[in-house]
Amino acid sequence: MKNCMISELLKDAYSQLLLTCGDKMLAEQEAWWLLQHITGKNRSELLLDKYAKIPCEQADKFALLLDQRVVQNKPLSYILGYVPFCDLNILIEPPVLIPRPETEEWVCWLISVLKVAGKKNFSVLDLCCGSGCIGLAVAKAFHQSHVFGIDISEHAINLSKLNKIENQLNNIEFIQSDMFENLPENFTCDLIVSNPPYLSADEYVCLDADVRLWEDKNALVAGDAGMKFYETILLQASKYLNIYSSDIPSIVLEIGPAQWFIETLLQDLNYENFEIYNDMHGRRRWLAIFVKK
């Protein structure tokens, strides 16, 4: 490809991305993010000289990445190779689940709750940790805490370990395990967090192509009804929890808007004190369980 003006590249990318995204604002954002990624310049620098041309090598790479996004439906996060999350830079690669803003929202909420309560030295178990984003965010916010991240996927655990190095954190470790199976003997913790798979089989088939084609199905689907992992966590959590106070949650789980059976499960298992919170879009998104002494 010949040298191209920045304005021309953005215009062409926007028109193609709009067909993929179906959202004008998102298409514009993705075009800018791709260009910033290729050139190594921020948006302000590019805007100052938007009629300048970029070298043909960069233009060729831009076209290649745009093709991956538009034709192959590759998620932008996989193209860029990272996701910002709670003051962290999270490395991401297919098929490990991409951290979502909805997850970041409740993790920030949890960190705020723990800080208000004056918590500093505590232990956390992050089940189905994926890229490690949740546990890493807690570990960074509370340097005296110790966090254990668990995932069944070797790929996810290896990526989590890279993210530990990337973010220079020493108070977190990652273990490959099928839920509680490979925890150290006599393991206990003060808090269990998880963004487990929670989609039903029917919900999965309705997902956008960029999710279905790229992200690990096992990180998304939890049996026919989407309740499999909630049942496992809530049945076994009491074996591992140290209960010091009912002022802060002992268990925080991400849930989907369709998980209407979760209250019934909680009641059946005698969890009495819990709250379900809505996300920024007004959808049911996370469950906090306050376990009494």
Residue 64 has pLDDT above 60, yes or no: yes
Predicted confidence at residue 12, as pLDDT, reads 94
Predicted confidence at residue 293, as pLDDT, reads 57
Summarize pLDDT for 168-214 with one digit per residue, the tens.
999 999 999 999 999 999 999 999 999 999 999 999 999 999 999 99
User: Read out DSSP for the chain?
Assistant: ---EEHHHHHHHHHHHHHHHH--HHHHHHHHHHHHHHHH---HHHHHHTTTSEEPHHHHHHHHHHHHHHHTS---HHHHHTEEEETTEEEE--TTSPPP-HHHHHHHHHHHHHHHHTT--S-EEEEES-TTSHHHHHHHHH-TT-EEEEEES-HHHHHHHHHHHHHTT--SEEEEE-STTTTPPTT--BSEEEE----B-HHHHHTS-HHHHTTS-GGGTB-TTTS-HHHHHHHHHGGGTB----SSS-SEEEE--TT-TTHHHHHHHTT--SEEEEE-TTS-EEEEEE----
Complete domains list, the chain, with CATH:
4-72 (1.10.8.10), 94-289 (3.40.50.150)
pTM (whole model) above 0.85:
yes
Summarize pLDDT for 247-289 with one digit per residue, the tens.
789 999 999 987 778 999 999 999 999 999 999 999 999 999 9
